[in-house]
Structure 1
Amino acid sequence: MKVAILSSTPGHHAKAVRGLPDVEVVAAETWDAVEPVRRAAEAGARVLCEYPSAAKEADLKAVVDAGGDRLAFASPACHGEAFAVVRRGIAGGGIGELTTVLGSVTTRADAVLGAAAPYLLDLADAVLGGEPAQQVYAQTNTILNGRNAESAAVLTVRYRSGKVASFDCRRSASGTGRPAVTFIGDKASVQYDAGPRLLDGERPELGGEDLNALLLKDFVGSGEWPGPDGQAALRTFRIIQAAYESAHTGQPVDLPPGG
């Protein structure tokens, strides 16, 4: 199997994939990615992308169109048995009708809307079955780091069915980048925490699921891909762009039909 990886730090993923049997890796440190994706798709290869740190929607859509159904995006929290159990429980009516999604994430990266919010949105998108967003509202600040990039953000998304998601993203030197999300229904709620449990509030507890390893296993496997595909990545990207616009104007931003 030939696997192409497009990432700003491709060695991180490529090292893990190269440990798998019968896998040939093509890694590219780029996000001028249309041509590599097109070539990989024509060669019959699957492509794993990270979310671009900065790109225009047209650039991302060109990558999605080039990769087709062979394109996948890296969102580790969508993988593993814990989230699969949560998804099955919600789909089976275990919490009644889902009404609200609440989530939070801390990251060591600046620009937390672009660096952290996508991984919360991916979890909501997976549970909502790709339902398009209708309206986005966001507030940000740069006080914590004194730089132009936002160090904290609150993001609220209203979906077309009336469901609402509200997310808290912030920068922290001890941030794990792993989201925690609570899904609230009209009968019950369920929480999913993708981060490792901490001992003494600082040291991660040993054991638990290695989500990066499970992501790669799902990617090279022949089963269902539980993470975002190209269309899901476009939905998330459009929400993030609307969030930046909302934070700049101080007003909610309506998305066009189709999200």
Structure 2
Amino acid sequence: MKVAILSSTPENHVKVLCGLPDVEVVAAETWDAVEPVLRAAEAGARVLCEYPSAAKEADLRAVVDAGGDRLTFASPACHGEAFAVVRRGIADGGIGALTTVLGSLTTRADAVLGAAAPYLLDLADAVLGGEPARQVYAQTNTVLNGRIAESAAVLTVRYRSGKVASFDCRRSATGTGRPAVTFVGDKASVQYDAGPRLLDGDRPELGGEDLDALMLRDFLGSGKSPGPDGQAALRTFRIVQAAYESAHTGQPVDLPSGG
């Protein structure tokens, strides 16, 4: 199987792919635009796409429409047995009726709403079965790094059924980029932590799941990937855009009933 990589950090994926049997990496380039992904989708290729750092909804929708069920968005924390167990437990009623989702993610990137919130929202979307959001409220802070881009953000999402998700996103030089989420029910709660425990504040502890490798193996496998599809990516994109609007105006933002 021939694989081309278009990524903000292509070297991270090359190492994993080169270790897989019957996989040939034919190109590995940095990208920061929707157009290369659109061309690949229109050509009929299966596409594993990172969330674009800057895009209009019309551009993202064009990619989703072209890619169809061949399109998956890169969200490593959605992969692996640990999250699968959490999802099954919630679906089986292990925590009772789900009411609240609480999560946090620390990233090394600037503009933490766009860099961190999608990966928290993906986990909530997977557990909620794609339930659309009804209202979004966000606050941001640029004081921590003195830059224009936000270095911290708090995001609250109200869903159509009344469920609420609240997320804390921060920038840190030691950020893992892996979410930790607690799902709260009316009988119990369960936590899923996708971040590796650190030894000496720097080195990951041995063991645990390599989520990037599992994501790539799921994508290259014959089965349906557990990662977010195009429609899930559109739902996440709309929430993030509404969060930026809310942070700018200081008011909650209602999402259209059809989205």
Query: 191-200 or 227-236, which moves further after superposition?
Result: 191-200
**TM-score, L = length of structure 2:** 0.94
The AA in structure 2 aligned to 1:192 is Y
Q: Deviations for 1:118-139, whole angstroms, at most 9, x for unmatched residues?
A: 1000000000011100000000
Match of 1:33 in 2: 34
Match of 2:87 in 1: 87
In 1: Cα distance, 2:191 partner to 2:250 partner: 30
Please state how far the C-alpha of 1:40 moved relative to its aligned partner. 4.7
Please state how far the C-alpha of 1:35 moved relative to its aligned partner. 5.4
Match of 1:193 in 2: 193
Task: Please give the residue correspondences for 1:128-207 in structure 2 after superposition, counting only pairs within 5 Å.
Answer: 128-207=128-207
SS at match of 1:116: helix
Match of 1:254 in 2: 254
Task: Provide closer, same or farther for how the CA distance between residues 36 and 159 of structure 1 changes in structure 2, counting only shifts above 3 A.
Answer: closer
Match of 1:46 in 2: 46
The AA in structure 2 aligned to 1:103 is G
In 2: Cα distance, 1:112 partner to 1:160 partner: 25
In 2: Cα distance, 1:3 partner to 1:40 partner: 14
Please state how far the C-alpha of 1:54 moved relative to its aligned partner. 1.0
Please state how far the C-alpha of 1:27 moved relative to its aligned partner. 4.1
Would you say the 8 A contact 2:41–2:71 is kept in 1? no
SS at match of 2:64: helix
Would you say the 8 A contact 1:4–1:47 is kept in 2? no
Q: Deviations for 1:55-91, whole angstroms, at most 9, x for unmatched residues?
A: 1111111111111111111101111110000000001
Q: Deviations for 1:24-48, whole angstroms, at most 9, x for unmatched residues?
A: 4454533443455344553x42111
In 2: Cα distance, 1:21 partner to 1:45 partner: 20
The AA in structure 1 aligned to 2:6 is L
Would you say the 8 A contact 2:37–2:47 is kept in 1? no
Match of 2:244 in 1: 244
Q: Deviations for 1:96-115, whole angstroms, at most 9, x for unmatched residues?
A: 11000000011111100000
Would you say the 8 A contact 1:5–1:47 is kept in 2? no
SS at match of 2:206: coil
SS at match of 1:104: strand
- Structure 2 gap segments, 5+ residues each: none
The AA in structure 2 aligned to 1:120 is L
Q: Deviations for 1:123-169, whole angstroms, at most 9, x for unmatched residues?
A: 00000011100000000010000000000000000000100000000
Query: 28-37 or 164-173, which moves further after superposition?
Result: 28-37
Would you say the 8 A contact 1:2–1:46 is kept in 2? no
- Report the aligned-residue RMSD: 1.6
The AA in structure 1 aligned to 2:19 is G
Would you say the 8 A contact 2:151–2:170 is kept in 1? yes
In 1: Cα distance, 2:113 partner to 2:168 partner: 10
- Structure 1 gap segments, 5+ residues each: none
The AA in structure 2 aligned to 1:128 is L
Task: Provide closer, same or farther for how the CA distance between residues 199 and 15 of structure 1 changes in structure 2, counting only shifts above 3 A.
Answer: closer
In 2: Cα distance, 1:15 partner to 1:105 partner: 25
In 2: Cα distance, 1:239 partner to 1:143 partner: 24
Please state how far the C-alpha of 1:23 moved relative to its aligned partner. 2.5
In 1: Cα distance, 2:246 partner to 2:37 partner: 33
The AA in structure 2 aligned to 1:8 is S
Would you say the 8 A contact 1:135–1:252 is kept in 2? yes
In 1: Cα distance, 2:40 partner to 2:168 partner: 38
SS at match of 1:240: helix
Identity %: 85
Match of 1:208 in 2: 208
